[in-house]
Amino acid sequence: MKKVVAFKILLVIALVGVTTSCKKSSSSKNTSRATGWQINSREGGFQYNTDFKEQETAPGLVFIEGGTFTKGRVQDDVMHDWNNSPTQQHVQSFYMDETEVTNAMYMEYLDWIKRVYPPSEDNFRAIYNGALPDTLVWRNRLGYNEVMTENYLRHPGYGEYPVVGVSWIQAVEFANWRSDRVNEYYLERAGYLKRDAKITDVEAEATFNTDTYINAPTLTYGGNEEIINGDGRNRRNVQTDADGNETNIYATRETGIISPKYRLPTETEWEYAALGLSELRNYNLYRGRKKYPWDGQYTRNGSRKYRGDQLANFKQGKGDYGGIAGWSDDGADITNAVKSYAPNDFGLYDMAGNVAEWVADVYRPIVDDDFNDFNYYRGNVYTKNAINDDGSVKVVTVDDIKYDTLPNGKVIARNLPGEIVQVPIDENETYLRTNFDRSNEINFRDGDKRSSRYFESFNDEDEDGENTKSETRLMYNSPKHSVTRDEDGNIIREYDKNNNRTSLINDNVRVYKGGSWKDREYWLDPAQRRYFPEDMATDYIGFRCAMSRVGSKSKSKSKSKN
């Protein structure tokens, strides 16, 4: 009996000690090392998420731990492009889609647009039509592919196949939409938004946008307080000040709830992730060389159980898109369902074969000698929020939607209701800066007037016989097609028939990476790079999204050195 009583006393003492320790730890964590003031005090003051552990992995993504690698090192250059100077690069940790974006994923996007911006209404028709993939990419003058033209996007038999017929612009818009839908869900889950409002209450005049919520939360959902004020049963951080007014009604970046945005990966990120070099290392050096996303120099599996099986979906030879039926066939003649082949060391599927993939970069054939060796990327265009005269941010309404006619004649929406209007940065942001000096930095040290080389022209004289150095003599002298509308709104397409054009490269061509079902094995090398106009689509280019990592470089606190 005495032993039982003694044990109970010791247990109580231990529990008191643990509780006291936890209180001390919690108190220390919520005390400012700058001022000694209390953080997250019920009386008000500075509010901050001191319990934040690490970034939540968003839907569809896998973690890619950053590191150093040699970008652009190809083992073959049979095309003699010489467009890939090897450079050592360091990549920050980030997240990338486990698979390519599928038809089912893209159909969810189209369904949302159709519900919120009904194409039956004249004001919204171009929004839905501008998001539709181009299913006519499957057609060929001397081939019969109508089954894909009619079924590939929408039939459930192709639901888990990668979406194609999507331009770079459409891929970017999908990533933006996905960012808003995921953050809308996170805020609803945390009780900051009304439950199920994303389905029952959303309409063209009342939508959610991440940037708008961060900068002016009362303007989201068209100012509908019933949605914005959330579900009181779930709101954990709402407090009341001395005057009885609620505080912390809206989530901020400081809460850690709002996720970074989905986006297209940069070329450097994509190549690093595709190589999957993490398992090929001895201490601080990579051993051997990888030609493909998998280990080894061949496209066939070398293991005893699967010996001879193809490791990706690609064109094996002229007239051979899958191999002989049965054994040794790669399992597909066009694209294949995602996850049909083994992932690479990062857990990413189809980083070679299936479809090639858009990346964020503007294409240039050379890498400048003064390249940045940290998160290299070409294509920066810096903007800022437009501000009204009263100091508030300017939010797009249904009457402010801007449409743009692309060079191919397709009409797309450049902004949507609920978004903040963006304007180029100006001298307020660039004055006396050394790291950037203008809004559009696409041409920095390559392609602008300050850095372009000139090619020989047959005629350097203008109509008056005077010598001139016209814009047509610039290094990237690409065709300039014109698309305009007459007074009746009819599209007038004018092709550039100038015979002196010397290049297809301009600021509107983007890099795409990885071989596709239509490519030979040469293009499966992750370092290979090609380009295509950002407003056009094909039957062999798809995409996947990425997301930046915030916080620690690694997910694990300690790692084995060996």
Give dist(CA 206, CA 214) in Å, integer.
16
Q: How many distinct structural domains can be found in the chain?
A: 1
Structure tokens given for 350: 């189809």
Q: What type of residue sits at position 175? A: A
Spell out the per-residue pLDDT of the chain, length 562, in tens.
556 666 666 665 666 555 555 555 556 788 999 999 999 887 778 888 888 889 999 999 999 999 998 888 877 777 777 788 888 999 999 999 999 999 999 999 999 999 999 999 988 999 999 999 999 999 999 999 999 999 999 999 999 999 999 999 999 999 999 999 999 999 999 989 999 999 999 999 999 999 999 999 999 999 998 899 876 544 556 666 656 666 778 999 999 999 999 999 999 999 999 998 765 555 555 555 667 787 767 676 666 666 667 767 888 888 878 777 766 677 788 999 999 988 998 999 999 999 999 999 999 988 776 778 999 999 999 999 999 999 999 999 999 899 888 888 888 999 999 999 999 999 999 999 999 999 999 988 887 666 665 544 444 444 444 444 444 455 678 888 888 877 777 888 888 888 888 888 889 999 999 999 999 888 888 999 999 999 999 999 999 999 999 999 998 765 555 4
Q: Does residue 412 lie within any of the structural domains? A: no
Q: Does residue 286 lie within any of the structural domains? A: no
Structure tokens given for 401: 């939607």
Give dist(CA 396, CA 418) in Å, integer.
5
Question: Do 160 and 338 meet the contact criterion of CB atoms below 8 Å apart?
Answer: yes
Residue 24 φ then ψ, to 5°: -65, -45
Q: Does residue 183 lie within any of the structural domains? A: no
Question: Do 202 and 208 meet the contact criterion of CB atoms below 8 Å apart?
Answer: yes
The CA distances from residue 103 to 109, 111, 219, 360, in Å, are 10, 12, 33, 21
Q: Does residue 2 lie within any of the structural domains? A: no
Q: Write the DSSP symbol of residue 443.
A: T
Q: Quote the domain boundaries for residue 482.
A: 452-460+468-506
Give residues with Cβ within 8 angstroms of 346, minimum separation 6: 62, 64, 96, 273, 276, 278
Q: Does residue 494 lie within any of the structural domains? A: yes
Question: Do 512 and 530 meet the contact criterion of CB atoms below 8 Å apart?
Answer: yes
Question: Do 75 and 113 meet the contact criterion of CB atoms below 8 Å apart?
Answer: no
Instruction: Return the pLDDT at 458.
Output: 40
Q: HSE, CB side, 13 Å, CA atoms: give it for residue 252.
A: 11
Instruction: Return the pLDDT at 461.
Output: 46
Q: Does residue 499 lie within any of the structural domains? A: yes
Q: Report H helices in 102-240.
A: 103-116, 125-131, 146-151, 168-189, 197-200, 210-215, 225-228
Closest CA to 509 of 261, 267, 263: 267
Give dist(CA 545, CA 109) in Å, integer.
14
Give dist(CA 465, CA 390) in Å, integer.
54
- Quick one: angle between helices 168-189 and 103-116, nearest 10? 70
Give dist(CA 36, CA 38) in Å, integer.
7
Q: Does residue 152 lie within any of the structural domains? A: no
Q: Does residue 490 lie within any of the structural domains? A: yes
Q: Report H helices in 377-525.
A: 427-430
Give dist(CA 177, CA 171) in Å, integer.
10
Question: Backbone dihedral region of 283: left (phi > 0), alpha (psi from -120 to 50 degrees) or beta?
Answer: left
